Chain A
Amino acid sequence: MKTKLILLGDEALAQGAIDAGLTGVYAYPGTPSTEITEYIQMVRPEGVHCTWSSNEKTAMEEALGVSYSGKRAMVCMKHVGMNVCADAFVNSAITGANGGLVVVAADDPSMHSSQNEQDSRFYANFAFIPCLEPSNQQEAYDMARYAFHLSEEFGVPVLMRLTTRMAHSRAIVETVAPEAQNELHTPDADHARQWVTLPANSKVRYPKLLDTYTALEEVAAKSPFNAVHKGKDHKLGIITTGIAYNYLMENFTDGYPYPVLKITQYPLPKRLVCEFAEQVDELLIIEEGQPLVEQAILGVFPPAKPVHGRLDGTLPRTGELTPDAVKKALGFAPASVSPQPSLVTARPPALCQGCGHRDMYTMLTRTMTTFPEGRVFADIGCYTLGFLAPFHAIHTCVEMGASITMAQGAAFAGIHPAVAVIGDSTFTHSGMTGLLDAVNDKANIVVIISDNLTTGMTGGQDSAGTGRLEQICYGLGVEPEHVRVVVPLPKNYDEMERILREEIAYNGVSVIIPRRECIQTLKRHAKQ
């Protein structure tokens, strides 16, 4: 029975995983990956785990536990989440997968909601893990189901790489009847040892993993997801990956004028690339993200024939592709367009009116005016917008959890006051271990955990430590009298400022928790 649904790429992938007999999804929210898990939470398939994890590393390990038990698990994250779970991800190639294990990384070229453009395909290469990169929503659905089978057949995890436009664009998807979940079965005698990564075991396992990766390259060469399309004019051959294929075809309205090799399954099938390149005079490589395929083809020695792409300026070196960027690369005339009227002004995102972070920053900037040498080390979340007008309140934001640890380092180096600003969800994601360091170091810092009782930036998902932040701080060794809770409202500014000044004066680790529900989740709860 086939059903037609209009689904986001994220949702199509999620439905594919459900229909593949998924036992559990494990994830931390992050744009553009959040809707995968939210979709599974909305569908609520019976017996499928779908609550949020504390961070991407715990999510990956939880999923690995499901896979060890013979059942199918999926881990979802944004691209920078791959950095957080890298230890578990890379070593999951050594343990291998027992039940199908699919890791989804949603990349964000052009940095719509991110701090960098890292391309997750490099992680797959690095870890010797196969990678699938759907070019449309139907492929996202079909590949999710295929990925679980590939994972079980070859005993390795599979990475699925999405990009923003793939994740957040809707199209019609045809679904098929779901498979049943796997029965519980632990690794057999041949594979049990590799799950204990002692050197003696991993030395045996590693060459086998490399052999598997070689075999997977031939699987990719024969995969229906990697296709050669014939074209009459062999002066040029075009290699596209993932969603880049769509931008090419947007410009080829009457079929293929040049031969086209569409790659959506890795490891990059070198045989297929060489056979394709032999037929043509020059190559144009069009890929969304960083030039992984282009670099692989170029290597170090001068290429046998010209290779064009992001590295020689035929396509932009940075940012996501567009139909117009590809049009230019093909040498087609640009569309004649009306300019944007000069009166159109930028409308940057801002903290919502009524948001508790606003009151926290108003109080903080008011206090910090008397400490011009002081610095505020912030973190990832809505409150990063405190950098912008009217607050101009923060001096750093690097990655999840860096606020507390950077404040600790800066305090040791001589900055006073060194203030960390971190949200509740980011604190339980990656801030707790840093706070333990600060306590052990007797660091002279003030940590503001701006608690809105949710993961706000990504739309209001559950926050792992809600209701237990004070206990967590006590447990990590912060003196109870230096854990202060305030309600961030204009009427409390004087009290908030007094408390902040007291804690700045204290030589040690202080935690101030301004606590008020996110205005967006509050509105949603009021409607219910």
Chain B
Amino acid sequence: MKQDIILSGVGGQGILSIATVIGKAALDEGLYIKQAEVHGMSQRGGDVQSNLRLSSNPIFSDLIPLGGCDLILSLEPMEALRYLPYLSPDGWIVTNTTPFLNIPNYPEMDSIMAELGRLPHVITVDADTLAKEIRSPRSANMVLLGAASAVLQGLGKEALEDGIRKVFARKGDAIVEANLAAFRAGYDHATK
């Protein structure tokens, strides 16, 4: 089993919380993990990504090779397309559809959706709206993870839910439940 995942978004959106949950779940499942993160200057509203690699065998490179990524998990629709050269021909894109508008020349949403529509394996989810609907507006990242769990190999829904419980435990039961609800809303959206 190997899953190479690129998590993408804009600095401050919370891609690292997704990585932490997947990492915790993978550790408990006895998988090998490597997760390259971006810290520093580019975090200030720039595009950010994290390369997350899971495998039942030892992993060498911290970076995913071109054409090798099994899943692009993006909190922002244009950012999902930025990493297309890394996506394997069989790979999936799971992306939030709410754009993050902090640049003057952001492309038309219709053309972004058209590009996504041309790809064979795409799940789109309006994670921001779904998170607001369940009154947990800060949990859009867990909505997205829930949607991705429908296609993520090697880690089941239960393992990921357990990861959420452990990662958010120190923030209290209410936060844990809000994140679990967000995760399930994303999962239901992707599987219905």
Contact = CB atoms under 8 A, between A and B. Distances in A.
Contact of B40 (A32, A166, A322): A32
Interface string A159-186: 0000001101111100000000000000
A6 interface: yes
Interface in B39-53: 39-47, 51
Contacts of B24: 6
Contacts of B63: 165, 247, 322-323
A344 interface: yes
Contacts of B78: 343-345
Contacts of B35: 6, 169-171
Interface residues of B, number: 51
Contact of A343 (B59, B60, B81): B81
Contacts of A198: none
A350 B115 contact: no
B11 interface: yes
B65 A351 contact: no
Given A338-B87, A347-B10, A169 B45 contact: no
A4 B68 CA distance: 28
A8 B32 contact: no
Contacts of A189: none
B85 interface: yes
A112 B111 contact: no
A8 B44 CA distance: 21
A324 B36 contact: no
Contacts of B59: 171
Given A169-B35, A171-B35, A341-B115, A250 B42 contact: no
B82 interface: yes
Nearest to B104: A389
B102 A350 contact: yes
B74 to A, nearest CB: 12
A351 B35 CA distance: 27
A6 B23 contact: yes
B134 interface: no
Contacts of A352: 44-45
Given A165-B63, A324-B66, A347 B102 contact: yes
Contacts of A34: 39
Interface in B85-115: 85-87, 89, 102-103, 105-108, 111-112, 115
Nearest to B10: A347
Given A6-B27, A165-B63, A341-B115, A170 B37 contact: yes
A340 B61 contact: no
Given A165-B62, A327-B65, A336-B67, A350 B39 contact: no
B172 to A, nearest CB: 13
Contacts of B65: 250, 322-324, 327, 335
Nearest to B31: A172
Contact of A323 (B45, B61, B87, B89): B61
A351 B63 CA distance: 28
A413 B65 CA distance: 52
Nearest to B118: A341
Contact of B39 (A168, A243, A346): A168
Among B23, B34, B47, which residue has the most Cβ atoms of chain A within 10 A?
B34
Interface in A27-64: 31-32, 34-35
B190 interface: no
A339 interface: yes
Given A168-B38, A171-B35, A335-B68, A349 B62 contact: no
Given A250-B61, A345-B78, A458 B40 contact: yes
Given A327-B65, A334-B66, A336-B67, A172 B32 contact: yes
Nearest to B79: A347
Contacts of A250: 60-61, 65
Given A246-B61, A338-B85, A339-B84, A171 B42 contact: no
A171 B34 contact: yes
A115 to B, nearest CB: 11
Nearest to A336: B67
B33 interface: yes
A104 interface: no
Nearest to B44: A349
Given A6-B23, A338-B87, A350 B34 contact: no
Given A165-B63, A322-B65, A340-B82, A345 B39 contact: no
Contacts of B27: 4, 6, 172
A347 B67 CA distance: 23
A345 B106 contact: yes
A344 B77 CA distance: 10
Interface in A432-489: 457-459
Nearest to B20: A6
Interface in B109-155: 111-112, 115
Given A345-B78, A347-B102, A113 B42 contact: yes
Contacts of A32: 39-40
A172 B23 CA distance: 10
A8 B107 CA distance: 35
Interface in A307-342: 322-324, 327, 334-341
Nearest to B11: A349
A345 B105 contact: yes
A382 interface: yes
A243 B47 CA distance: 25
A419 B66 CA distance: 46
B85 A340 contact: yes
A348 interface: yes
A385 interface: yes
A16 to B, nearest CB: 18
Nearest to B51: A169
6 contacts: A112-B41, A172-B32, A339-B85, A340-B83, A344-B82, A345-B105
Given A172-B27, A345-B103, A457-B41, 12 more contacts: A6-B33, A113-B40, A169-B35, A169-B36, A169-B62, A247-B63, A248-B60, A338-B84, A343-B81, A343-B107, A344-B107, A457-B40
Interface of A: 4, 6, 8, 31-32, 34-35, 112-113, 165-166, 168-172, 243, 245-250, 322-324, 327, 334-341, 343-352, 382, 385, 457-459
Interface of B: 10-11, 23-24, 27, 32-47, 51, 59-68, 78-79, 81-87, 89, 102-103, 105-108, 111-112, 115
Chain A to chain B: the 6 pairs with minimum beta-carbon distance, closest first: A335-B67, A31-B40, A113-B40, A349-B46, A250-B61, A169-B62
